[in-house]
Amino acid sequence: MNEPLLEVNGLEKYFSIKSGFFRRELKYLQAVDGISFKIKRGQMFGLVGESGCGKTTTGRLLVKSIAPTAGEIVFNGKSIIELDDDEVRDFRQSVQMIFQDPYQSLNPRMTIFDIIAEPLKIHKIGAFNQREELVAGIMEKVGLSPAASFIFRYPHELSGGQRQRVAIARAMVIKPDFIVADEPTSMLDVSIRTQVIELMKKLQEESRVSYLYITHDLAVARYLCTEIAVMYLGKIVESGEIEKVTQNPAHPYTQALISAVPIPDPSYQRESIAIIGGVSKPIDLLPRCRFYDRCYERDQHCQSQAMPDLHEIEEQHFVACYQR
Ligand SMILES: Nc1ncnc2c1ncn2[C@@H]1O[C@H](COP(=O)(O)OP(=O)(O)OP(=O)(O)O)[C@@H](O)[C@H]1O
Ligand SMILES: [Mg+2]
């Protein structure tokens, strides 16, 4: 159980972008800037942070849909950076990604059956009648039931929640070891969000699948995940066991995120910590703490020193901050 399924070391993704009036100046956008973490077998690992901090880029790197600028991704004991063709095929069968937008991620011209059966076809799993059974089985599991009433329909005939269930079924039908779920509920109506979150929890508990669950919502991460990493402009600023990070947040950024989480008990008022400014783009960064410009605890030392590394402040709880 404790052996990691996935290990990420010093992972970087820089995008080259053209800037300046004539777009002649070549710059680098440091979308993911040297992150490391481990995901255990059967674990739901949360990746949390505001828009633009590099969550989706991290997810795409882990499923090998884009190549890293630097760093290492070890999956099942093997580096995924240099796999031969057979190994890439095996890898593609072991990992899946569920996207944020169920309106864009499903092919509008395919029936629900064909969409869910496609990964079986690609990976040549089962004869046609076996595929029918596998698809029907997974559809019932994700709550598209009775399956017979959905299989000949098209994505536009389904609600957002049903479409996301189709996307989840499609990801699960080939029984992957690892799924990246990229904000699977953020485009859904609030009323059906909870149902899809409950479904993710149920599916995770029933199987040995590991997840990277990407969300900007710490409350969702707390409900689903056992461990999280909090990202800010391409860096992990805090990570560890979910209870430790959420009950005892150490980084000023995590503290601000937590104070923004609505508290259901109306008799309890928590003071909200204001963060100065918004997230900028990780371009032309000064060699210091990424959070410096918005931090309410910064001092001289933070101004002049490099980005702090993560260090352990209690067992299984890490923070990258000079003030801790
Ligand atoms: N292909 C690309 N080319 C250039 N820049 C990119 C590319 N993809 C992402 N970026 C930039 O990289 C940074 C991280 O983007 P990413 O999509 O990973 O963030 P995110 O945390 O998923 O945000 P959101 O919560 O909005 O989905 C952003 O500044 C984004 O503009
Ligand atoms: Mg994203």
- Residue whose CA is closest, atom 1 of ligand 1? 15
Q: What pLDDT does residue 238 have?
A: 98
In ligand 1, which atom is closest to the CA atom of 60?
18
3-state secondary structure 228-256: EEEEECCEEEEEEEHHHHHHCCCCHHHHH
Q: What pLDDT does residue 25 have?
A: 79
Q: Which ligand is nearest to the CA of 232?
A: 1
Enter the pTM of the model.
0.92
3-state secondary structure 51-88: CCCCHHHHHHHHCCCCCCCEEEEEECCEECCCCCHHHH
Residue keyed to tokens 């899946």: 96
Q: What pLDDT does residue 24 have?
A: 76
52 Cα to the center of ligand 1, angstroms: 5
- Band of the pLDDT at 22, cuts 50, 70, 90? confident
Phi, psi (deg, nearest 5) at residue 244:
-65, -45
Q: What percent of the chain has pLDDT over 70?
A: 93
| Tens-digit pLDDT profile for residues 197-212 | 999 999 989 888 999 9
Q: What pLDDT does residue 272 have?
A: 54
Q: What pLDDT does residue 19 have?
A: 74
Ligand 1 neighbours by CB, cut-off 6 Å: 15, 17, 29, 31, 49, 51-57, 216, 281
- Band of the pLDDT at 98, cuts 50, 70, 90? very high
Q: What pLDDT does residue 284 have?
A: 83
Q: Which of 14, 15, 27 to mutate to test the pocket of ligand 1 (most atoms within 8 A of CB)?
A: 15
Q: Which of 13, 29, 61 to mutate to test the pocket of ligand 1 (most atoms within 8 A of CB)?
A: 29
- Residue whose CA is closest, atom 18 of ligand 1? 54
60 Cα to the center of ligand 2, angstroms: 10
Q: Which ligand is nearest to the CA of 65?
A: 1
Report the chain's mean pLDDT, rounded to a whole number.
90
Q: What pLDDT does residue 2 have?
A: 64
Q: Which of 53, 231, 283 to mutate to test the pocket of ligand 1 (most atoms within 8 A of CB)?
A: 53
Please state which of the ranges 229-233, 257-261, 305-309 shows the lowest mean pLDDT.
Answer: 257-261
Q: What pLDDT does residue 20 have?
A: 72
Q: Which ligand is nearest to the CA of 182?
A: 2
Query: How far apart, in whole angstroms, are the C-alpha atoms of residue 123 and residue 89?
Result: 8
In this predicted structure, the answer to whether residue 74 has a pLDDT above a threshold of 60 is: yes
| Tens-digit pLDDT profile for residues 186-195 | 888 888 899 9
109 is written with which tokens?
């011209």
- Band of the pLDDT at 270, cuts 50, 70, 90? low
Q: What pLDDT does residue 132 have?
A: 94
Q: Looking at residues 125-130, what average pLDDT do you find?
A: 90
- Residue whose CA is closest, atom 14 of ligand 1? 54
- The CATH superfamily assigned to 4-319 is P-loop containing nucleotide triphosphate hydrolases (3.40.50.300)
277 Cα to the center of ligand 1, angstroms: 19
Q: Is the peptide bond prior to 308 cis by the omega test (within 30 degrees of 0)?
A: no
Helical segments of the chain, H only: 55-62, 85-94, 112-122, 128-141, 160-172, 190-206, 218-224, 242-247, 252-259, 300-304
Q: Looking at residues 62-81, what average pLDDT do you find?
A: 96
Q: What pLDDT does residue 105 have?
A: 87
Number of DSSP helices (H) and strands (E) in the chain, helices first: 10, 12
The SS3 assignment for 35 reads strand
Please state which of the ranges 64-68, 124-128, 264-268, 278-282 shows the lowest mean pLDDT.
Answer: 264-268
Q: What percent of the chain has pLDDT over 90?
A: 75
| Tens-digit pLDDT profile for residues 32-44 | 999 999 999 999 9
Q: What pLDDT does residue 304 have?
A: 92
| Tens-digit pLDDT profile for residues 51-71 | 899 999 999 999 999 999 999
